[in-house]
Structure 1
């Protein structure tokens, strides 16, 4: 039986699969079908020549929910909230994205104002009723919602994190009057204080639910029609998988579903390569994703913003994404400067050289003209060089440069955007880039990896086997995961330990039961870890702190406080003994361990020529003759000096001058970059800014 991972991106849909007994592996890449992304999933399985009936698990990462939110392409949803809080999701926290820009505008609210209703009710912060829910008013609102025809309703009452009683009453009324609508409660979505993040996350869940229910229904119907009998599992933003039934009801857990697979592969590489500090990067056709993996674990955030002032307060892998990929379009701004992205050609029409109707030059076109891409895209189809050259020449005329100068300028600008994204992730969390290796994933990743890594003075780049389908690979090694959290505030030394232990017992049982309901039957293989969101008394932000196993006792508190100080100093560069630490919320993570993959042999094709040929490649304003290597034929004894090109089935690695590469025993290409004194001085300044 096959375990199959599929990642649906903005341009390509990637597949990686391994046979559970033999370890046989296969990969495939097809263009994403934007009008119905489930079609591309079936096309990828067909291209991999896998029989649907032979699939035991299909692990699926998707950007469907994210795309629906960014494009606001979902059916209208409604929000019911407490009197006085109708505009909370639009007002936000009254922050300004650009302090001195008088023309900035807020993103469109997730739910339009005409569909936001208020009702008289009030709970206090202790969960006691101050004003009962106005039943008559609630019924009138339910009738208005029924007449409006909306498909989903979010209910978010102030202080419902302390008690969801009134939200549940409102749900009962809605179910009676308009039984066909999807209903979500903020007290069940994320029962934490700070109403803005809680309301927005609940609104996101409601808005995306009709979209994801339809997508899951279509996908499962198509799979079953084609003979699928296995289990469909969906990648979660927190780094695990969940059942398709759970995914239908929790679209907010899928906003980083696709990139989460890449983080899982980076975690897998930690165990296989010995690199404990990895910057995971993934360059696709549309976006560039970057995150940190330390000691085999991706860092988690609860401060993810879909857009400015649109916070999602569920635990998510801390992945930063920008619009910079192979399909990013080059253009000239009002000041006459060359810019690249974030607009992308995607898969439709795609880069100009794809011959699918694209007219604006992209990063892919630039790489082709500079000799860095095989004109046949490694035998997949013939790229149109004259069309790419004509489009680039038009752009070049506008800026007064030659065609090649413009193409190389696009690459440099695109790589600098990527480098700034890497810098933002590392420095914002107090990390020194020189302590990390740069893991390059995605079909376009290794084309640019050395340039980006050198810009950040990261000394090593690793390009693992199947880097072109890395997120799909990572999906196949992920475990079932359930995160549950509950609000609990108290200074650590004043905490009621009986209450804390009772909360943890309740959360652990709920998490364990949630895994069982998703079809996980191996109870003995469920592991549960405990965490707390903590801060200094008086602070307005928290950090995640791991708590010891077993009951929390008085003797545990000193160690918990020390761990909090340590985490706070790592994240922000400072800690304090003058302020008391406090608990803000308690959470558990339950992991249902999936079977380990068989030892995956990354065999090289021994009877294949190592060298495919030579071609001229443009570096730093001049053509240089480069050897083109077959990545599938490289072995551990092979060492390559840059400049050179290494081509794989689904990716291409560019080794610029002053680099050299070799393979380790698992087939990972390790590239060492010669650093410069200028970069060393710049990174020393970056480290000082990070508090190191």
Structure 2
């Protein structure tokens, strides 16, 4: 039986399948097909056909999707209603009253997730201690519920002030609504994410309510389509925290899917980190629409608690700290009002796609530039024929007004998009106090290898790793994931004077809830692993850092150890710490893990590893490629014929099944036994007397 990972991106739908019962190279099947934006289910099923997979052969499917993200960004969802405490109707719109652009008098705020006409208030108030200050006004609540019913709204968010302490007023309001709208889908902030700071809690609850119908409809149609095709596979969905959950759970917790797609790439990075014992990585993914970057430490991606998908719209569920920008193969190049060349964030997407796709696109894109420069196979690795002349014509529309040749304009496009990508890398490294020079850049995505060397150079990274499955990395990563749930609760208490038993009791409650979620997703109790963390801060600070907490019964000495650990984490994150200030707990978090798929059975060396026959010939062709204002005749290597220990000097091209790797001048690639390509700067290596520097003998 097959375990299958499928990632539906903005341009391509990728598939990676592992067959435990097959032998040799037959154990792996991959596919990359065009995404079908109008109905992603069609592209999803097309991937099976392309890989030659009968759905009845599949035991487990793990699916990464951007369905929730796209719905939010495009505001394409049945608009929900929001019921909140009197006086807080406009919290979603007011935000934190920060200006995104300090000196821009014409800036416009993003449209709130729920318009003002759909936001309602009722009189109620709980104190910060959970005691009732003002009971819920039932008559007013009934009038609000009846009004919502008259609007025909079925997805509703309820977010009362201070309900992070107690959800009893929200539950009372829910009961009143259900009496009038029995089939309503209702999100309570006290159940969605019971944390202090109302903006994040309100936005996250509104997100859940908005996505209820979108996500439920999509997964239900997908489940029905799979069943009709004869599949009995368990369907899991990739979560923003780097784990997965059953599709039935995802329908109830859709706000946890915001970074579902790129999270698969981080899981692939975790697999490689464990395989190669490489601890510090920056995982990047270049697709058709976007570029994502995430820093990994000790084999895991860093987590953020304040992810903003738009300005002043924080999602406060724990998520991988993935920075995404509009920079991919389909990113459109254009000239701004000042006459400067720009690239992205607009994208040609899958439809119509880059000009060279011949599907109606006419604007110049990054893919067009790579084709014109000779860096891209004109058959896109055998998938379909690219139109070289159309790419030239598209780039000419920029080259002429800029006074550049088509080739120099195309190279300028690549330089700009690579600098943009390097900027995203700095956001996850230097912005969090990590030195890029200590990291290995892991390049994923169909376009990752095309730009990896130049991006690493711009970001100051000296080592690049490109695995054999780079073109379908998010799908591969999905196939290696484990079920994961993060549960949180506000627990504000200074460490000094805190009762350890009180803290233990609060963690135990979260652990019980986490166990229930994992068991509902099919994890046996004995297979569950739990971890504790606390979001802590110095008393008087506004924001927290996640600090590890030991499992089991806590005591006073352990509390002292937790405080010491907090100082260490604070020092790492911000460069300073001080034992002169008191330390407080703010939020408790329990993370639960459970393995469904058998990742230990995936033997990359057996099915994708490089040959040990050093005499094997990997050069399949030669190609004219433009680098730095000159044409070079370069060797094109077939990745499947590379040898363990083989070295390739740039300029050169390495073709994989789903991606292409560009080695400019001074790049040196080495192949390991797993088929991974490790790229370094040859001049740096030569300083140690190891290799000869690149000459220009290949210049045409």
User: What is the TM-score normalised by the length of structure 1?
Assistant: 0.96
SS of the counterpart of 1:588? strand
Q: Which residue of 2 aligns with 1:623?
A: 631
Deviations 1:465-495 (A, max 9, x none): 1100000000011101111111100111122
Contact 2:500 2:559 in 1 (8 A): no
Q: Specify the alignment match of 1:558 in structure 2.
A: 560
Tell me whether 271-280 or 55-64 shows the greater mean CA deviation: 271-280
1:246 aligns with 2:249: yes
CA contact (8 A) 1:457 1:675 kept: no
Of 254, 273, 280, the residue aligned with 1:277 is: 280
Residue by residue over 1:395-452, the C-alpha shift from the partner in whole angstroms, topping out at 9 and shown as x without a partner, is 2112221111110110000000001110111011100000001000000001000001
Does structure 1 retain, via aligned residues, the 8 Å contact 2:501–2:553? no
State whether structure 2 residue 587 is matched by structure 1 residue 585. yes
Q: For residues 535-555 of structure 1, give each alpha carbon's deviation from its aligned partner in whole angstroms, at most 9, with x where no partner exists.
A: 000000000011112111101
**What is the rounded CA distance, in whole Å, between the counterparts of 1:469 and 1:62 in structure 2?**
14
Q: Distance in 2 between matches of 1:151 and 1:9?
A: 29
2:652 aligned partner? 644
The answer to whether the Cα contact below 8 Å between 1:76 and 1:151 also exists between their aligned partners in 2 is no
Q: Is the 8 A contact 2:610 2:672 kept in 1?
A: no
1:311 equivalent in structure 2:
314
2:131 aligns with one of 128, 131, 137: 128
Distance 1:551 1:103 in 2: 56
Q: CA deviation at 1:293?
A: 0.8
Instruction: Single out whichever of 14-23 and 510-519 deviates more from structure 2.
Output: 14-23
Is the aligned partner of 1:660 residue 2:668? yes
Paired with 1:101 and 1:77, the residues of 2 have a C-alpha distance of 32
Cα distance in 2 for residues equivalent to 1:53 and 1:434: 47
Mapped partners of 1:161, 1:369: distance in 2: 56
Match of 2:698 in 1: none
Matched, 1:192 2:173: no
Segment of structure 1 superposing worse, 216-225 or 548-557: 548-557
Question: Aligned Cα RMSD in Å?
Answer: 1.3
SS at match of 2:88: coil
* Correspondence for 2:525: 523
Greater mean alpha carbon deviation, residues 14-23 or residues 615-624: 14-23
Separation of aligned partners in 1, 2:501 and 2:213? 41
Alignment partner, residue 543 of structure 1: 545
Assess if the C-alpha contact under 8 Å between 1:464 and 1:668 holds in 2. Answer: yes
Q: How does 1:40-439 map to 2 (within 5 A)?
A: 40-439=43-442
Q: For structure 1, which runs of at least 5 residues remain unmatched after alignment?
A: 678-692
> Aligned-pair distance for 1:674?
4.6
Q: Alpha-carbon deviation of 1:637?
A: 2.9
Give the 3 Å change call, closer, same or farther, for CA 675–215 of structure 1 in structure 2: farther
For 1:452, what is the secondary structure of its paired residue?
Answer: helix
Name the CA distance, whole Å, in 1 between partners of 2:207 and 2:684: 46
Q: Displacement, 1:608? A: 8.1
Counterparts of 2:458 and 2:348, CA distance in 1: 26
Q: Write the distance in 1 (CA, Å) between the matches of 2:181 and 2:11.
A: 39
CA shift for structure 1 position 496: 2.3
- Per the alignment, residue 500 of structure 2 pairs with 497
TM-score (norm 2): 0.95
Cα shift at 1:676: 8.0
The size of the alignment, in residue pairs, is 676
Is the 1:320–1:421 Cα contact (8 Å) retained in structure 2? yes
Q: Any idea what the Cα deviations from partners look like across 1:648-670, whole Å, max 9, x if unmatched?
A: 11000000101101111111100
Structure 1 distance, partners of 2:498, 2:336, is 57
Q: Is the 8 A contact 1:2 1:54 kept in 2?
A: yes
1:449 equivalent to 2:457? Answer: no
Tell me: CA distance 1:301–1:370, structure 2 relative to 1, closer, same or farther (3 Å): same
Counterparts of 1:285 and 1:564, CA distance in 2:
41
Q: Secondary structure at the match of 1:5?
A: strand
Contact 1:459 / 1:674 at 8 angstroms: preserved in 2? no
The one of 629, 635, 647 equivalent to 2:643 is: 635
Q: Conserved in 1, the CA contact under 8 Å of 2:504 and 2:552?
A: no
**Do the aligned residues in 2 keep the contact of 1:14 with 1:29 (CA within 8 Å)?**
yes
Instruction: Give the match's secondary structure for 2:267.
Output: helix
Q: CA deviation at 1:306?
A: 0.5
Is the CA contact 1:461–1:671 (under 8 Å) kept in the aligned structure 2?
yes
5+ unaligned residues in a row in structure 2: which ranges?
686-700
Output the CA distance in 2 between the equivalents of 1:498 and 1:658.
61
Query: Deviation of residue 63 (structure 1)?
Result: 0.2
Cα distance per residue 1:579-620 (max 9 Å; x no partner): 111000111011112333412321458898511111111111
Cα pair 1:459 1:675 within 8 Å, conserved: no
Structure 1 residue 102: deviation in Å?
1.1
Cα distance in structure 2, aligned partners of 1:374 and 1:460: 25
CA distance in 2, matches of 1:176, 1:158: 23
CA shift at 1:374, angstroms?
0.9
The secondary structure found in structure 2 opposite 1:627 is strand
